[in-house]
Structure 1
Amino acid sequence: MVTLLLDQTQLEVVLSPLERAVSFHRDNLRIPRDAITKVQLTDDAWTWLRGVPNPGTHIPGVVAAGSWKAAGSMEFVLIRRRRPSVIIDLDGDEGYRRLILTTRHGLALTQALRLDVSVEPADVEEIVATAPTPVITGGKRPVIRPRPA
């Protein structure tokens, strides 16, 4: 599983040596924070996979890793089996249009992107764990009722 580090200016996707080997990628991915347009969580990242590895590794249902060329754009993919994943859409990044990553830290990433973070990179799990808890004031909480059919 990839490690996600976030600071005020960028998201860094830290790859393990094995992930670097199967993805044919030498360095960690560094994405400018302002290039992130949308973050989505999914239980099945395979449904988001488009195109062909260029270069990359693909063993259907087991692993898909590397750069994937799809309809004239590049995506970085690191999918393992059928595990929770995060889809990160980018706009203005020089390398990729989308990142598809298997990670159990997707929810923490979405929460951390909404917070003010330090200048030093920190793991998204740590950012969320140390963030102040919002306090609800004003008495009652709103009641959400289903609409009649």
Structure 2
Amino acid sequence: MAHMLAEDDQVVIRLAWWERAAARRGDVRVPLAAVRRVTVEPDWWRALRGIQESGICVPGALCLGTRRHQAGKDFAAIRPGRPVVCIELWSSTPFRLLAVSARDDVEAEAAAGLFRRVAPRIDASTPWRQPLPVPDESE
């Protein structure tokens, strides 16, 4: 199962060998300075956005890989029935969201708390994830 850690000045999603093969990529790394907001989503399906671009998605069993939507791309390593740690990123990175399942609520809150403490540019204006922009709407 994928693990999310903070190494030096980066967020690292470490994938197992079979997850690397399924996702068609190696470990995911983004700078901690790119972290915008960290939340825990208790309903795993709410963390999924867009359509599967690469990787594998078996409904009700596993979603692993890159997902594409109108605001960019997300990386998901999600298993149903488990809480999901969602890390929203500033637009300067290749992904807009990193979503990784945790074993239980305690592990999810611990991981989220860690990233909230070590990320230098956290937007604390709201504790919830922001919705995707609608292409035809202006601000």
Q: Name the TM-score class by shorter chain.
A: 0.7 to 0.9
**TM-score after normalising by structure 2:** 0.74
Residues 85 and 112, structure 2, Cα contact 8 Å, conserved in 1? no
**TM-score after normalising by structure 1:** 0.69
Unaligned segments of structure 2, at least 5 residues: 119-139
What SS class does the counterpart of residue 34 from structure 1 fall into? helix
Unaligned segments of structure 1, at least 5 residues: 117-149
Identity of aligned residues (%): 29
> Equivalences for 1:64-83 in 2 at 5 Å?
64-83=63-82
Residue matched to 1:143: none
Question: Per the alignment, do residues 32 and 56 of structure 1 end up closer, same or farther by CA in structure 2, a change over 3 Å counting?
Answer: same
Residue matched to 1:2: 2
RMSD of aligned C-alpha atoms?
2.0
Deviation, 1:37, is 0.7
Distance 1:7 1:57 in 2: 27
Residue matched to 1:110: 112
Residues 86 and 102, structure 1, Cα contact 8 Å, conserved in 2? yes
Deviation, 1:106, is 2.4
Question: Per the alignment, do residues 47 and 113 of structure 1 end up closer, same or farther by CA in structure 2, a change over 3 Å counting?
Answer: closer
The one-letter amino acid paired with 1:29 is V
- Runs of 4+ in structure 1 off by over 4 angstroms are none
Residue matched to 1:15: 15
Deviation, 1:107, is 1.6
> Equivalences for 1:78-89 in 2 at 5 Å?
78-89=77-88
